[in-house]
Amino acid sequence: MIEFEGPIPEGLQSISLPENFDELSAEEQLEAKKLRAAQSLYKLYTIQMMQDYPEIAAALRFRDSLPGQITGLSGSLFSGGEPIVQGMLIRLQEKWATYIGSSVPCPLSFIEEDKQKQKEDEKKWASGVVLMEEFLDQVGAYRGWDGWVNHSSYEYYKVRLEKCRHEFLDSQCATNEEISQWEAVWPFMGK
């Protein structure tokens, strides 16, 4: 496995060094070159895998389609993602003929009230996502690896996560009851 801290490269374009590369210190330039090398290896591995295993490549392309996103997000129903999944199902109902054809009736049926409620719920969900993004920015860990950090950074981010949690609760809560409500749904468990 290729392990690095930084964005996962997308597409087939080559990986560039940062625009301010010449202004970086020698150590920062070395780190930038190491990151580019790791990202390049990751991309080459992905390209080779797609050539050797076209079925996997097709599955990865499916992942980015509306039906693939619905399938992928269905697991989010139990972690608060229901408004997004329901919105995608509404879009699937509206575009059913595009994906399946007009000869098969759509098994989904949403009335206008359902659609309006979904829009309201999605706005509330989006507000929660903004709060979470702000919190994660405060923690400062790279987020492209689904919460994983390098072993050498683990203890630092474990302490940082707990400090940021306390600061968040202090800024959002006025009562012990509110603190208890936030703690009951807190998504980040330091382990």
Domain ranges of the chain: 1-64
Given a cut of 50, the residues of the chain with pLDDT beneath it are 191
Verdict on whether the full-model pTM lies above 0.85:
no
- Tens digits of residue pLDDT in 56-105: 888 877 877 877 777 777 766 666 678 888 898 999 899 888 888 889 89
Supply the pLDDT for residue 77.
Answer: 62
Burial 127-157 (b: 16+ CB within 10 A, else e): eeeeeeeebeeebebeeeeeeebeeeeeeeb
Supply the pLDDT for residue 123.
Answer: 92
